[in-house]
């Protein structure tokens, strides 16, 4: 297969597995990185899963800059736009995330259209289909659009909503041969390829390292990063996926269930995983001092369910057991720490 796929954000957790999946299926891959210094690490991580041979190349491009995107997309049949800025504990300024996410998406779409790419698959988020974080338990599918006015949205969640909105608006006003499909994952876990850009995996890491004082009353639908990569590639190649949104989510687990699973299946290796439950009032007090806890407040005690029926029906998505995913995630983190 000679078709080349551009994958943005090549150093990222999801992008790395998308590169692996594409190479395993015989595609050529061009991955964007912000610096040539990142190329060797990405190639090494990918090579531990599949031999890329001469089918993996790199392009230098940054979501915040115009330069490099046309060259990165040139000759590519498809684009997987996975890159997105991540929030940090030190800065939760909405514009620090929203502007790069939205403007970066438009840069990628413009470059894809100029290159004549057949389809762009964009990684959005289940944040973009939530009916309201404090509206009680919710049951969400792709017909739902989250409100940009929801006061409980943090900068990252808002950036994902606005970036996906911008993508669909752009495609509606720029008719052409390039199609758009979006994939909306829930909380992403699974084996890590590198120690960079861990995203939600950092939650497992903090438990293993004993850096959590207890377990808050919070839960989420789990998606395995390997399954998510398959959904991206299937959404790229399936004719019926054009112009569609697809939720990629699996089983709902409370954090206490994750902790219990790690303890039961990893034994002494999970000895630092806390078992004490944190009452909601204590989480609310702690949120005044710990930014990560502040982001949990709207989710306390609520079950937000995301339905992947459409992805299962159209793309053949079959989520693996969530407990297997979190254990595989933990084992990969422990192996990386021991290496």
Determine the Cα–Cα distance for residues 27 and 38; give it in Å rounded to an integer.
Answer: 21
State the catalytic residue, choosing from 38, 160, 272, 310: 160
Residue 52's SS3 state is: coil
Could you give the CA distance from residue 276 to residue 286 in angstroms, rounded to a whole number? 15
Taking a C-beta distance cutoff of 8 angstroms, is the pair 285, 216 a contact? no
Q: Which of 220, 216, 180, 174 is nearest to 200 (CA)?
A: 220
- Taking the C-alpha atoms of residue 74 and residue 61, their distance in angstroms, rounded to an integer, is 13
Quick check: 208 and 273 in contact, CB under 8 A? yes
| Residue for token pair 């939720």 | 247
- As a residue count, the chain comes to 339
Distances from the Cα of 179 to the Cα of 45, 117, 171, 214, 241, angstroms: 30, 8, 8, 46, 9
Buried b / exposed e across 106-115, counting CB within 10 Å, b at 16+? bbbbbbbbeb
Q: What CA–CA distance (Å, rounded) separates 204 from 198?
A: 10
DSSP H or E stretch at residue 31: strand 28-33
- CA-CA distance, 339 to 337, in Å (whole number)? 6
Instruction: Please compute, for residue 278, the number of CA atoms within 13 A of its CA located in the half-sphere on the CB side.
Output: 23
- Residues near 327 by Cβ (< 8 Å), separated by ≥ 6? 261, 262, 265, 266
- To the query of whether residue 160 is one of the catalytic residues in this protein, the response is yes
Q: How many CB atoms lie within 10 A of CB 267?
A: 9
Enumerate the active-site residues.
Answer: 160
């Amino acid at each position: 297969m000679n078709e080349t796929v551009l994958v943005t954000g090549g150093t990222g957790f999801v992008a790395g597995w998308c590169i692996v999946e594409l190479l395993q299926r015989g595609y050529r891959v061009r991955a964007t990185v912000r610096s040539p210094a990142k190329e060797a690490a990405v190639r090494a991580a990918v090579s531990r899963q599949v031999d890329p041979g001469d089918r993996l190349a790199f392009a230098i491009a940054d979501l915040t800059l115009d330069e490099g995107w046309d060259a990165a997309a040139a000759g590519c049949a498809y684009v997987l736009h996975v890159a997105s800025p991540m929030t940090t504990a030190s800065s939760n300024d909405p514009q620090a995330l929203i502007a790069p996410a939205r403007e970066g998406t438009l840069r990628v779409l413009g470059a894809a259209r100029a290159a004549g790419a057949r389809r762009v698959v964009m990684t959005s988020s289940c944040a973009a289909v939530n009916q309201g974080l404090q509206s009680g338990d919710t049951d969400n599918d792709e017909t739902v659009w989250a409100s940009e006015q929801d006061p409980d949205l943090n900068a990252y969640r808002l950036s994902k909503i606005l970036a996906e909105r911008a993508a669909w608006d752009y495609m509606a006003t720029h008719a052409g041969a390039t199609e758009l499909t979006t994939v909306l994952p829930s909380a992403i876990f699974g084996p890590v390829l590198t120690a960079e850009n861990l995203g939600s995996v950092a939650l497992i890491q903090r438990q293993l390292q004993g850096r959590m004082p207890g377990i808050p009353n919070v839960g989420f639908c789990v998606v395995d990063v390997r399954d998510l990569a398959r959904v991206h590639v299937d959404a790229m190649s399936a004719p019926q996926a054009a112009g569609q949104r697809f939720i990629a989510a699996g089983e709902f687990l409370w954090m206490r269930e994750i902790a219990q699973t790690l303890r039961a299946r990893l034994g002494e290796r999970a000895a630092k995983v806390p078992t004490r439950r944190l009452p909601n009032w204590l989480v609310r007090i702690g949120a005044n001092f710990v930014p990560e806890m502040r982001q949990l407040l709207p989710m306390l005690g609520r079950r937000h369910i995301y339905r992947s029926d459409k992805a299962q029906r159209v793309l053949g998505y079959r989520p693996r057991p969530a407990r297997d995913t979190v254990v595989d995630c933990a084992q990969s983190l422990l192996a990386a720490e021991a290496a």
